């Protein structure tokens, strides 16, 4: 039987089988590729393949039906009574494998060689019922002739409700996949109804779902899967191996990269770009002109606004909402239920945990971590390597530098500025317009009022209160439960002990040390290098000079003045308006009456009592009362 007779027999058998049962044609299509392996794999494997072909063909056509078809072919003088229908099926539907390879692109060759080798390996090394290789009918003149649809093929597409626009090119293998679906048993058959617009290009091995609409100038590369009831508008490009779920809507000029996967009910607006290996979850929406980077992942029920940019390998959790013009850096991770308003930037390797709300115009630096239930208000900035604990609140116009650590439930009010590498403790409250220098350490439950300034390397202990417009210099240390008054100032390298209290408008000079439970009244001035001991009480309007040493449990009444380099030991009482000139030494348990004046260099020994209005010159006073002036 020559090639022309093969062609006549082939066309007639397809017509008969199509009238008999369309489902049989799908079985015959698989026989085509089996015959093509005869020269490629050798005789031993071909014998096993031939047994499988006969077995499958016997399942498709019963003995009675085979006899009817044989008699019909013999009556039309297509077959002779001596021909075997089983063997003839392999000869008639024989496809030259080498001729087929020459007409396929390199990508298709590699794809199908991989499947063939895997299938052959399964046959040799196992006895399992392995899946059969992909189906080819490249040269089958029943559907194609010289790579053009035959009349029978056009009629079949019309019955499938597949409408192709002018200048549209659909690869043969894609149409074969549609044909196999159409020729499946009637009980499993679904209406196809596919509409493809003008000037479209559909590559090889594309699986098109039912009820699908594709606009004009769409380009779909090889081995793409498009789900049912989807809409792809004009000028969309879908790269190879992408998988689009059902009910997807892809608007004009969108670009879908290699190996992209989208779930059902995904909406991708116009001018979007979804790069390779990205994944989009169920019921997600991506706004206009947004860009999803390489390997990015968006989980279900997430909404992304317009003009957003997601760099490579970003991850967006489920039920998140992102506004317009959001920029997420590479390798960043946004957990579920995150709300980000417009014009927000999150740097590379950034982490935003669940139930966090970031308002407009916020900048989160690279390698920063925002924990659960954090609120960051508008126009705020968080530097590199920073950490915000759970339930934190960062209010508007706040600037936070590099490497800061903000612990749980801390509140930072608006218009503040925090330097680099600071630590803010749990439940701390930083009021508006507060300025913190670098390396400041604020411990648990600290409260600062408005316009407070803390210098670099300062430390504020637990439960401290720093009142309005207070200023702490560099390397100031406030121990636990310290309270500073309004407009107070503490110089560099000074130290205040536990439970100390400082009044309003008080000034403490540099390198001063105040012990525990110190009380300073309003408008007290302490010069630099001074020391005040435990439990001392200095009332308002007192002035302490330079390098003064005051012992423990000293009581200094209002309007007292102590000169430079004076020394007051323990349990001393100074009444109102006492003046000690420089270098005065007062021993333990001394009482100095009001309006007294002690001249320079006087030494007052222990237990002395200075009467009011007394004037002491440079003498030694011991165990007697100085008469009134």
Residue pLDDT, tens place only, 120-168:
655 554 444 433 333 333 334 455 555 566 666 677 777 778 888 888 8
Q: Is the pLDDT at 1 greater than 80, yes or no?
A: no
- Domains observed in the chain: 3-142 (no CATH), 554-629 (2.160.10.10)
Question: CA distances (Å), 365 to each of 160, 310, 362, 400, 414, in order?
Answer: 55, 15, 10, 10, 19
Residue pLDDT, tens place only, 161-187:
888 888 888 887 787 777 766 665 554
Check if the beta carbon of residue 423 is closer than 8 Å to that of residue 405.
Answer: yes
Provide the β-strand partners of residue 145. Answer: 148
Q: Is the pLDDT at 14 greater than 70, yes or no?
A: no
Question: CA distances (Å), 581 to each of 220, 495, 611, in order?
Answer: 95, 26, 17
More confident site: 426 or 49:
426
Check if the beta carbon of residue 492 is closer than 8 Å to that of residue 473.
Answer: yes
Residue of 115, 176, 98 whose CA lies nearest to 140: 176
Q: Is the pLDDT at 342 greater than 60, yes or no?
A: yes
Q: Alpha-carbon distance 628 to 626, whole Å?
A: 7
Check if the beta carbon of residue 423 is closer than 8 Å to that of residue 403.
Answer: no
Q: What does the pLDDT read at residue 16?
A: 59
Q: Is the pLDDT at 525 greater than 70, yes or no?
A: yes
Query: Strands (DSSP E) along 407-494, which ranges?
Result: 411-412, 417-418, 423-424, 429-430, 435-436, 441-442, 447-448, 453-454, 459-460, 465-466, 471-472, 477-478, 483-484, 489-490
Q: Is the pLDDT at 220 greater than 70, yes or no?
A: yes
Residue 288's Cα: distance from chain center in Å?
A: 20
Check if the beta carbon of residue 334 is closer than 8 Å to that of residue 318.
Answer: no
Q: Alpha-carbon distance 33 to 54, whole Å?
A: 14
Start-to-end C-alpha separation, the chain: 148
Percentage of the chain lying above the pLDDT 70 cut = 72
Q: Alpha-carbon distance 586 to 370, whole Å?
A: 57
Number of Cβ atoms within 10 Å of the Cβ of 624: 9
User: What DSSP string describes 229-298?
Assistant: T-EE-TT-EE-TT-EE-TT-EE-TT-EE-TT-EE-TT-EE-TT-EE-TT-EE-TT-EE-TT-EE-TT-EE
More confident site: 93 or 252:
252
The mean of the pLDDT values for the chain is 80
Residue 24: which pLDDT band, with cuts at 50, 70 and 90?
Answer: very low
Percentage of the chain lying above the pLDDT 90 cut = 61
Which range among 35-49, 146-160, 378-392 shows the weakest confidence by mean pLDDT? 35-49
Q: Is the pLDDT at 44 greater than 90, yes or no?
A: no
């Amino acid at each position: 039987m020559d090639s022309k007779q093969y062609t006549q027999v082939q066309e007639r058998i397809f017509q008969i089988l199509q009238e008999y049962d369309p489902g049989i044609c799908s079985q015959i299509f698989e026989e085509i590729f089996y015959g093509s392996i005869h020269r490629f794999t050798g005789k031993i494997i071909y014998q096993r393949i031939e047994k499988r072909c006969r077995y499958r063909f016997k399942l498709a056509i019963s003995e009675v039906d085979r006899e009817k078809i044989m008699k019909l072919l013999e009556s039309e003088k297509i077959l002779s009574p001596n021909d075997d229908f089983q063997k003839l099926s392999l000869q008639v539907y024989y496809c030259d494998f080498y001729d087929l390879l020459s007409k396929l692109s390199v990508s298709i060759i590699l794809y199908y060689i991989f499947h063939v080798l895997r299938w052959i390996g399964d046959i040799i090394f196992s006895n399992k019922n392995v899946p059969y290789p992909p189906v080819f009918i490249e040269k089958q003149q029943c559907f194609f002739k010289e790579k053009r649809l035959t009349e029978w093929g056009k009629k079949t597409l019309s019955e499938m409700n597949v409408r192709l626009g002018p200048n549209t090119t659909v690869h043969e293998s894609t149409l074969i996949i549609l044909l196999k679906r159409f020729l499946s048993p009637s009980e499993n058959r679904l209406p196809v109804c596919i509409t493809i617009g003008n000037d479209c290009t559909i590559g090889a091995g594309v699986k098109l779902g039912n009820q699908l609409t594709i606009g004009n100038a769409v380009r779909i590369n090889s081995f793409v899967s498009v789900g049912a009831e989807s809409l792809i508008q004009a000028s969309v490009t879908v790269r190879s191996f992408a998988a689009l779920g059902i009910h997807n809507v892809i608007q004009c000029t969108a670009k879908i990269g290699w190996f992209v996967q989208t779930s059902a009910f995904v909406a991708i607006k116009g001018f979007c770009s979804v790069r390779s290996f990205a994944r989009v979850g169920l019921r997600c929406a991506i706004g206009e002109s947004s860009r999803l980077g390489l390997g990015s992942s968006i989980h279900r029920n997430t909404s992304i606004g317009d003009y957003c940019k997601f760099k490579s390998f970003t991850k967006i959790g489920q039920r998140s909402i992102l506004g317009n013009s959001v920029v997420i850096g590479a390798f960043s991770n946004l957990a579920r239920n995150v709300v980000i308003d417009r014009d927000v930037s999150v740097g590379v390797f950034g982490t935003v945990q669940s139930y966090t709300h970031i308002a407009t115009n916020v900048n989160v630096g690279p390698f920063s971590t925002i924990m659960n239930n954090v609120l960051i208000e508008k126009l705020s900035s968080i530097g590199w390597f920073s950490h915000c604990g759970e339930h934190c609140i960062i209010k508007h116009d706040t600037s936070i530098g590099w490497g800061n650590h903000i612990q749980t439930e801390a509140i930072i009010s608006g218009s503040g500025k925090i330097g680099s590498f600071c630590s803010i403790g749990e439940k701390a409250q930083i009021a508006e317009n507060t300025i913190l220098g670098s390396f400041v350490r604020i411990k648990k439950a600290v409260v600062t009022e408005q316009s407070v300034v803390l210098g670099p390397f300062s430390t504020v202990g637990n439960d401290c209160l720093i009142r309005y417009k207070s200023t702490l210099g560099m390397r100031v240390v406030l121990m636990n439960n310290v309270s500073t008054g309004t407009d107070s100032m503490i110089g560099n390298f000074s130290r205040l002990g536990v439970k100390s209290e400082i009044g309003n408008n008080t000034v403490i000079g540099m390198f001063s040390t105040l012990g525990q439970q110190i009380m300073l009244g309003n408008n007290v001035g302490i010069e630099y290098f001074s020391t005040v001991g435990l439990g001392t009480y200095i009332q308002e309007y007192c002035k302490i000079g330079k390098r003064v040493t005051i012992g423990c449990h000293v009581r200094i009444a209002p309007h007292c003045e102590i000169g430079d380099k004076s020394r007051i030991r323990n349990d001393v009482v100074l009444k109102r308006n006492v003046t000690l000139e420089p270098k005065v030494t007062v021993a333990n348990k001394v009482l100095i009456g009001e309006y007294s004046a002690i001249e320079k260099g006087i030494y007052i020994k222990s237990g002395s009592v200075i009467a009011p209005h007394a004037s002491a010159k440079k003498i030694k006073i011991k165990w007697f009362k100085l008469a009134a002036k």
